[in-house]
Amino acid sequence: MNKKGLFLLGFAEGANLPLMAKAIYYSFELHKGQKRNDGTDYIDHPFDTCIILINNGVTDEVTLVTGLLHDTKEDTGISYSDLLCAFGDDVADRVSSLTKEKGISLDLYFANIKDPREVLVKTADRMHNMNDMAKCLSRERLEKYIKET
C-alpha cells in the first residue's frame, strides 16, 4: 500500500467507513501493476480522485467508495455482479453509470450520469485527469479533453 492509500485508510477508520476501507484494498489489488500514460502507478488515480472528494467536504461513504472504484469495470474487467456482491447495489450501480462502454458516444455517456454522487465522482475524476494529462498529452489532445470536460 502506498502513502495515499494509507492516508485514505486512516481517514476511513477515523470516520468509521468500513466499506471505504474495503474498497481501498479492493481497488489497490485490482489496479496492481497498471500504469498511467505518465508512467505512474494507476492506483494513484482512484486514490487521488477520492482525496479530491474528501478535500471538498464529501463524507458520504457510497460516493467515496464509488470514487475509489470508478474505473474498475472499464480498466480491470471486473463485473457488475462482482461489485454487487462486494459492495452492494448502490455502489455497483454508481460504478456502472460511470463506466464508458465501447461504442457509446461521449454525449450519451455524460447524459446518463444523473445521480449527484456520480456527478461529484466524475468531476473529481476529470479534475485529476486534467492535472495529470497536462504533463503527458499533446496540446491537441489536451485541448480536446478540456472541451469535453
Q: Would you name the residues annotated as active-site residues?
A: 74-75
Nearest CA among 3, 8, 19 for reference residue 92: 19
Contact present, 29 and 41 (Cβ < 8 Å) = no
Cell digits for 93? 450501480
Task: Locate all alpha helices (DSSP H) within the chain, ordered by sequence.
Answer: 3-14, 18-30, 44-55, 61-69, 72-76, 80-87, 89-97, 106-111, 116-136, 139-148
